Amino acid sequence: MKKSTAAIVISAVMCIAGSAFAEDAGNIVSNDVLSVTVPQEVLDICDIETDDSSISFYEKISHESFDGGFVGSISTFENVSDYADIPNYERGGEIDYSDGSKLDIALVYPSDVQYDMESEDSTENYNMLREHFEQIALTIVPAGEGVFVPQDEIDTTGIYDEILDRLAADLTDRKDRDELEADDFSYVYAYTYDLEDTDPLDETGYAFIDVNRDGYKELVIGSVGAPFFYDMYVPVNGEPVHIFTGGERSSYNLVGTEGSTLYVCNNASGGAAYSEITYSYLQPNEPEPLSQVRFIIDAEKDEENPWFIDYGIEGEEPEKVTEDDWNLRMSNYGETIDPHFVSLSER
């Protein structure tokens, strides 16, 4: 993001109600759109740059010595598509205006090491500033008559209500496999009809998960108690888009570490001799996932050593590997994350 150094408006003020910075007086840093409160101990160890839409924080020693030290920016955008391709960001909330318009708040982070690791002072100061950065972002006060709403107070799941209502109605009416597919759902939910003394709404569940940490939650649908799912919807320009659907031989699960960006893992089988596991990354505000790698078992190609890895490089054949290497490389993507499905009957 292009930034320009501007005059920084800093004035001592009493602590804003609700601020994360206890009883100490703070300092206000402003641009044309918003102001934030910065505690004195942080202000003394950082450089701050502002432009029309951003306030950026730098650790002072590294910033002055090698033009590094970038900790993060509090930036505003009119549309999610304006910042969805930024490599490292989290949605920090929004500013709502009385005319119905809004600005998105994106917290933009560095993509590499920014402080002088050989300097104890630089390292200590950078870590201190990093710890305060997200708290500083919670003190946003909009210019004019806007109202700041932090991300954890925003419901991004309402766009999926119609989808879940439609699925609940289909299962209540016990629609057959073809009818479920016609309504844009996996046919596997029809198998719940065969379970004696059970309600299909009790057996089928949903979960909302922010898979790529962009502040907008995705919807996954599967069997209650299972770690995998059969349908996945993602938000694109505020509307739900159906990107994955599965069946008996093609299911999905989320892989990674809690609290971090997750991968979508597709387990698919073409029979006893062939199966593949594909890991994909969800691009913010995009309907097309990015396939990262496929782990293949192909006993038809090599019965004794059927393990292959395909990185999707045009013109290159899948790499032949040992079973141990196959398992080791796949383990690098993390553990399966339980979506903790809520049954449709509990909506």
Mean per-residue pLDDT, 24-41: 86
Cα distances from 136 to residues 119, 148, 209, 257, in angstroms, run 25, 13, 25, 26
Question: What are the phi and psi torsion angles at 137 (to 5°)?
Answer: -65, -20
Q: What is the pLDDT of residue 131?
A: 94
**Residue 91 CB neighbour total at 10 angstroms:** 21
Selected residue with higher pLDDT from 195 and 211: 211
pLDDT tens for 79-90 read 887 887 787 888
Reported as half-sphere exposure (CB side, CA atoms, 13 A), residue 84 has a value of 17
The residue among 301, 293, 300, 296 whose CA lies nearest residue 323 is 296
The residue length of the chain stands at 347
Reported pTM: 0.75
**Per-residue tokens: 32:** 């044309």
Per-domain residue ranges for the chain?
Answer: 9-153, 204-346
Q: What is the pLDDT of residue 284?
A: 86
What DSSP designation does 247 have?
B
Q: Rounded to an integer, what distance in angstroms lies between the CA atom of residue 125 and that of residue 127?
A: 5
Name the pLDDT band for 26 (thresholds 50, 70, 90): low
Q: By mean pLDDT, which of 54-58, 223-227, 237-241, 251-255 is the weakest?
A: 237-241
140 touches 105 (CB < 8 A): yes
**Per-residue tokens: 117:** 């690791």
Q: What is the pLDDT of residue 7?
A: 33
